[in-house]
Amino acid sequence: MSFATSFVRRLRRHLVVLAGLLTLGYLLLPNVIVTVFSFNDPKGRFNYEWQGFSADAWRDPCGVSGLCDSLAVSLQIAAWATLGATVLGTMTAFALARYRFRARGAVNSLIFLPMAMPEAVMAASLLTLFLNLGAELGFWTILIAHIMFCLSFVVVAVKARVLSMDPRLEEAARDLYAGPLQTFRRVTLPITAPGIAAGALLAFALSFDDFIITNFTAGSTVTFPMFVWGSAQRGTPVQINVVGTAMFAVAVLFVLAGTAVANRRRKQQA
């Protein structure tokens, strides 16, 4: 009896932990599947059922025609979109964080709306624009679209960092003989760099992974998500899972290394 009561009590105490861990499992299960199935040896065209172990796909990740080309296109677009969105977004963020001006509310709304708009709507309207202007769909239309939807996210990340910066630091620089340009280069930029980097990283991830908007604006250009989408109709090569697993591993290692460095730095300071 008392054992049962204490068991129920402990279960109730840890119920939230249990539920949380189940959710975490739900979130991570697909990644486990993606990883496991990167070692699959499928019989048919689709890689949905486990057949047997094989590391062939890992040995030859570019073995499927078009896959590595699409990866290269995606990386190129993501790099340029990151650059464009980061420059434009950082400028906008500084204007919003530092200055009072007319039409502030309108500008805030214009930056917020792309984040609140279903991608399908933005994609459809962009396509309408491009069709009306007679623009040729391809690399450039994808890039334009990606800069557009990454911009707002960069603004949010950078603006938060600029707002949290002590304005006295810039005053101190000006007081110590730094002109406006030097103040920006020597003080403002280094201190806001983490926010800009976060914005850039987010922009890269969003652009690299975008499918919905790219699907409308790509024409015959094939990005990596487009390639995956196409293969979901025609047949999914194991190499897709290899790329997915590698991306996941690199990203997690990157983050873990980052936190480890940060932790060590914190320990040294303590």
Residues 4-33 within binding reach of another protein (CB under 8 A): 16-17, 19-24, 26-31, 33
110 binds another protein (CB under 8 A): yes
Residues 220-239 that bind another protein (CB under 8 A): 224-225, 228-229, 232, 236
CB of 205 to another protein, least distance (A): 6
Which phi and psi angles does 164 have, rounded to 5°?
A: -85, -5
Q: Which of 217, 216, 81 is nearest to 151 (CA)?
A: 81
Q: Which of 1, 43, 134, 168 binds another protein (CB under 8 A)?
A: 168
Counting contacts by CB under 8 A, is residue 44 touching another protein?
A: no
- Does 100 sit near another protein (CB under 8 A)? yes
User: Which residues does 210 contact at the CB level (< 8 Å), separation at least 6?
Assistant: 119, 146, 149, 223, 225
Residue 53 in the binding site for another protein (CB under 8 A): no
Q: How far is the CB of 15 from another protein (least distance, A)?
A: 8
Nearer to another protein, 55 or 256 (CB): 256
Q: Which of 11, 172, 257, 261 binds another protein (CB under 8 A)?
A: 172
Stretch that binds another protein, among 3-11, 52-60, 62-70, 240-248 (CB under 8 A): 240-248
Nearer to another protein, 55 or 255 (CB): 255
Min separation Cβ 118 and another protein, Å: 2
CB of 62 to another protein, least distance (A): 17
Cβ neighbours of residue 137 closer than 8 Å, sequence gap 6 or more: 130, 217, 218, 219, 220, 221
User: CB-wise, 55 or 250, nearer to another protein?
Assistant: 250
Ramachandran category for residue 99: left, alpha or beta (phi over 0 → left; psi -120 to 50 → alpha) = beta
How far is the CA of 212 from the CAs of 29, 120, 121, 247, 265, in angstroms? 24, 6, 10, 20, 41
> Which span sits near another protein by CB under 8 A: 3-11, 58-66, 75-83, 90-98?
90-98
**3-state helix, strand and coil shares in percent for the chain, rounded to the nearest 5:** 80, 0, 20
Residue 155 makes contact with another protein by CB under 8 A: yes
Residue 15, CA atoms < 13 Å, CB-side half-sphere: 6
Residue 23 carries which DSSP code? Answer: H
